[in-house]
Amino acid sequence: MNVPTATNNHRFRNSLITTFGLAMVLAAATLLGGCDRQCAVSGDPNALIGGAFEAVDQNGDVFHHTALEGRYQLVFFGFTSCPDVCPTELSVISTALDQLDAKAEYFQPVFVTVDPDRDTPDRMKTYLDNFHESFIGLTGTADQIKDLAHVYRAYFARSPEPVEEGYNMDHSSITYLMDCEGRYIQHFTHGTGPDEMAAVLAGMI
């Protein structure tokens, strides 16, 4: 009869540790492989678009750029009183995401106001109810929005021409496509249709 010895017990424990360690490595590799597949397209690390920022979301909570990491990002700058361009572009993004069905979860649409004086969190939240349910709306102080626009090289300025709503805002009208780490991939210009945008996005999954 074989009698267990201290040496045998030590070897058994080492075997268990080795087996457990290999299992953990394989599990980690599987998870990382999933991330690589989800975010297979990387942006240009040398691009001067994208970076760190802090703002306030439509729920009134402090929002950091790191909260966007892990998904592709579609970022558009505008304002809720915008008469035409903004609702058109947000509708294009929304329709494109709808066409992706389940793949839409790989993308995070973001609407950044360039009119923080009027666009409070509550106003942003009400406005975004008209578009894709996954939209994040960002507002904040004038300095926060100025810094955020600088990060994306987005232009905006108050228009000198009076309008019924008090004033209008001039702003760039492009949608930035960023990778899962917030690096610039490409942008969609005003006039890009939802079918074209959806085709580009689908090709990234």
Q: Residue 23: which H helix or E strand, with range?
A: helix 6-38
> Above pLDDT 90, what percent of the chain?
73
Say whether both 65 and 161 belong to one domain. yes
β-strand pairing of 107-113 with 72-78: parallel
Distance (Å, whole) CA 122 – CA 165: 18
Identify whether residues 97 and 121 lie together within a single domain: yes
Q: Are residues 27 and 108 in the same domain?
A: no
Same structural domain for residues 31 and 122? no
Residue 44 lies in a domain: no
Whether 93 and 164 share a structural domain: yes
Q: How many CB atoms lie within 10 A of CB 186?
A: 14
pLDDT exceeds 60 at position 12: no
Structural domain range at position 26: 1-38
- Please state the domain count of the chain: 2
Same-domain status, 19 and 61: no
Residue 26 in 3-state DSSP?
helix
pLDDT higher than 70, residue 24? no
CA–CA gap between residue 29 and residue 62 (Å, rounded): 33
Supply the pTM of this predicted model. 0.80
Give the mean pLDDT of the chain.
86
